[in-house]
């Protein structure tokens, strides 16, 4: 049932993902035509410099620096430039000229998603972005289509491969944070400026995109509570291991209902932080640069999606899946249902969430310490599930408290009071426990 139409595809960007997309478009033309229902003609590739050296050889005659002419004649525009501008301008131009857009640009969607999806709705074009979250793993489409008849309650997972690589090496080989980070840089997991990854910005962008889609509301990066892995030390990882946990940088998107919504009918919480995960939990065995996302839906129950979180050729697979779908849609001619953001759900401040916590305190080694600490916890309304007291070889006395589920606000107030107590010398770490 091949329609003998030809669709013109414009590719913006020829970096690690873009060059693989170009290669696959050129090499797998017949296959893609069969699956799309139309021939896909790569009309041109926007680059900054047509003479720059490239890892993947691309036909010289396809390279161009003229974005405008390339976009105006295209049926499908693939944006893989990254960053806000000129990506935003190009995407808006593409939509306005009637093209369907495929993008992997998480930074742009997490900040200007509303503008882009509204424009697409107005002109009746589509924006697909499977490649923006979790690399090759199909997660956007399952959330949007497969679970369209269900109600998503919670999403949590590992969506940043670089930090997972670092934490995994620290956990499995006892490396220091510095050594693990150096290794990650050498192997290309970290960019020259690693702050986007290490401080959780990259994960927060993805969390904003996932929450928007899952809860049919508009979440921007500013709504995401964000903590990175800068403060995670080998000691903390070691302590976590001894307690049966592993530390993972998690993105968590959840609905808050009833009491948790504090007077609102419903609210959501979107957050990124390093958390303790039980070693028996499937997320604990996500090693290296891989990603894994848990989705909990009312009817479907818990689902997990796992795979490579990054990589040029892996992410190119996600881009091409979107291109084939866009091509089918372009031919069918229907408008489709746009990004639904009918719910304007308020985002709850971090103080309103509740989880279990593990608090590690360095204390003075004297009688009555435990009683004093128990009193402070009790006054703060934080209930301890487990308490373990140890003295290490250097004579440092430590108390590790595992709490029952508590409100973040109550917890942080209590930790502040613990820090001020005479018997507490140092709050060594406070970590949330997720995945239970």
Catalytic residues: 206
Pairwise CA distance, residues 396 & 391, whole Å: 5
- Tell me how far, at minimum, the Cβ of 265 lies from a copy of itself, in Å: 15
CA atoms within 13 A on the CB side of 239: 25
Please tell me whether 191 is known to bind a ligand: yes
Q: Which is nearer to a copy of itself, 33 or 353 (CB)?
A: 33
CA-CA-CA-CA torsion sign (24, 75, 311, 269):
negative
Helix (H, G, I), strand (E, B) or coil at 12: strand
Question: Can you tell me which residue has the tokens 């609905």?
Answer: 255
Helix (H, G, I), strand (E, B) or coil at 433: strand
State the CB neighbour count (10 A cutoff) for residue 415.
Answer: 20
Q: Which is nearer to a copy of itself, 144 or 241 (CB)?
A: 144
Binding status of residue 314 toward a copy of itself by CB under 8 A: yes
Binding status of residue 303 toward a copy of itself by CB under 8 A: yes
Please tell me whether 17 is known to bind a ligand: yes
Ranges within 119-138 binding a copy of itself (CB under 8 A): 121, 130, 136-138
Q: Which is nearer to a copy of itself, 277 or 373 (CB)?
A: 277
Binding status of residue 97 toward a copy of itself by CB under 8 A: no
Please tell me whether 250 is known to bind a ligand: no
Which of these ranges, 54-62, 309-317, 384-392, 406-414, lies near a copy of itself under the rule CB under 8 A?
A: 309-317
Binding status of residue 205 toward a copy of itself by CB under 8 A: no
Q: Which residues contact 59 (CB under 8 A, 6 or more apart)?
A: 26
Which of these ranges, 84-92, 148-156, 181-189, 228-236, lies near a copy of itself under the rule CB under 8 A?
A: 148-156
CA-CA-CA-CA torsion sign (148, 106, 223, 358):
positive
Among 84, 187, 259, 332, binds a copy of itself (CB under 8 A): 332
- Tell me how far, at minimum, the Cβ of 148 lies from a copy of itself, in Å: 4
Please tell me whether 224 is known to bind a ligand: no
- Tell me how far, at minimum, the Cβ of 276 lies from a copy of itself, in Å: 19
Among 73, 244, 334, 375, binds a copy of itself (CB under 8 A): 334
- Tell me how far, at minimum, the Cβ of 406 lies from a copy of itself, in Å: 29
Which of these ranges, 31-39, 54-62, 198-206, 347-355, lies near a copy of itself under the rule CB under 8 A?
A: 31-39
Binding status of residue 299 toward a copy of itself by CB under 8 A: yes
Q: Of all residues in the chain, what percent are helix, strand and coil, respectively (each to 5)?
A: 40, 25, 35
Which of these ranges, 139-147, 206-214, 219-227, 233-241, lies near a copy of itself under the rule CB under 8 A?
A: 139-147
Binding status of residue 92 toward a copy of itself by CB under 8 A: no
Pairwise CA distance, residues 309 & 144, whole Å: 19
CB of 18 closer than 8 Å to CB of 45: yes
Pairwise CA distance, residues 138 & 154, whole Å: 17
Please tell me whether 69 is known to bind a ligand: no
Peptide bond connecting 306 to the previous residue in cis, omega within 30 degrees of 0: no
Which long-range contacts does 234-242 make (Cβ < 8 Å, 24+ apart)? 234/170, 234/174, 234/175, 234/176, 234/177, 235/428, 236/360, 236/428, 236/429, 236/431, 237/167, 237/170, 237/171, 238/174, 239/360, 239/400, 239/429, 240/171, 240/276, 240/358, 240/431, 241/171, 241/279
CB of 252 closer than 8 Å to CB of 127: no
Pairwise CA distance, residues 22 & 12, whole Å: 10
Binding status of residue 1 toward a copy of itself by CB under 8 A: yes
Binding status of residue 150 toward a copy of itself by CB under 8 A: yes
- Tell me how far, at minimum, the Cβ of 286 lies from a copy of itself, in Å: 9
Please tell me whether 18 is known to bind a ligand: yes
The site map against a copy of itself for 211-250 (x = CB under 8 A) is -----x----------------------------------
The CA dihedral of 49, 113, 228, 352, to the nearest 10 degrees, is 170
Count of residues that bind a copy of itself according to CB under 8 A: 62
User: Which residues make up the interface to a copy of itself (CB under 8 A)?
Assistant: 1, 20, 24, 28, 31-32, 34-37, 121, 130, 136-138, 141-142, 145-151, 216, 282, 285, 297, 299-308, 311, 313-314, 316-321, 323-325, 328-329, 331-338, 340, 342
Task: Please report, in range form, the residues annotated as the binding site.
Answer: 12-19, 106, 191
């Amino acid at each position: 049932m091949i329609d003998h139409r030809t669709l013109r595809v414009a590719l913006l960007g020829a970096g690690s993902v873009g060059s693989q997309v170009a290669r696959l478009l050129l090499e797998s033309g017949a296959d893609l035509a069969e699956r799309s229902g139309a021939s896909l003609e790569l009309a041109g590739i926007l680059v900054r410099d047509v003479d720059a050296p490239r890892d993947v050889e691309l036909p010289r005659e396809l390279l161009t620096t003229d974005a405008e002419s390339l976009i105006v004649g295209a049926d499908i525009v693939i944006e893989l430039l990254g960053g806000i501008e000129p990506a935003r301008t190009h995407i808006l131009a593409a939509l306005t000229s009637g093209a369907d857009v495929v993008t992997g640009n998480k930074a742009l969607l997490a900040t200007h998603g509303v503008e882009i999806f509204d424009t697409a709705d107005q002109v009746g074009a589509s924006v697909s972005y499977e490649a923006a979250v979790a690399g090759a793993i199909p997660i956007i489409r399952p959330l949007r289509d497969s679970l369209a008849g269900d109600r998503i309650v919670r999403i949590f997972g590992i969506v940043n491969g670089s930090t997972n690589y670092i934490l995994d090496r620290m956990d499995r080989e006892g490396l220091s944070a510095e050594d693990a980070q150096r290794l990650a840089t050498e192997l290309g997991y970290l960019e020259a400026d690693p702050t986007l990854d290490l401080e959780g910005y990259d994960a927060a962008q993805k969390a904003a995109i996932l929450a928007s889609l899952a809860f049919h509301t508009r979440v921007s990066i500013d709504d995401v509570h964000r903590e990175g892995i800068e403060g995670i030390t080998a000691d903390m990882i070691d302590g976590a291991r001894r307690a049966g946990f592993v530390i993972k940088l998690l993105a968590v998107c959840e609905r808050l209902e009833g009491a948790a919504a504090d007077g609102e009918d419903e609210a959501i919480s979107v957050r990124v932080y390093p958390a303790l995960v039980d070693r028996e939990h499937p997320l604990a065995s996500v090693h290296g640069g891989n990603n894994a996302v848990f989705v909990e839906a009312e009817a479907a129950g818990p689902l997990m999606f796992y795979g490579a979180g990054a990589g040029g050729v892996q992410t190119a697979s996600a881009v091409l899946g979107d291109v084939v779908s866009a091509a089918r849609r372009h031919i069918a001619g229907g408008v489709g249902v746009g990004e639904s953001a009918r719910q304007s759900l308020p985002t709850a401040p971090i103080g309103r969430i509740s989880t279990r916590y593990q608090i590690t305190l360095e204390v003075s080694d004297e009688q009555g310490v435990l009683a004093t600490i128990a009193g402070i916890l009790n006054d703060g309304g934080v209930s301890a599930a487990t308490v373990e007291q140890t003295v290490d070889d250097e004579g440092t006395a430590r108390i590790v408290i595992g709490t029952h589920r508590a409100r973040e606000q109550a917890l942080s107030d209590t930790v502040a009071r613990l820090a001020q107590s005479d018997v507490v010398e140092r709050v060594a770490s406070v970590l949330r426990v997720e995945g239970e």
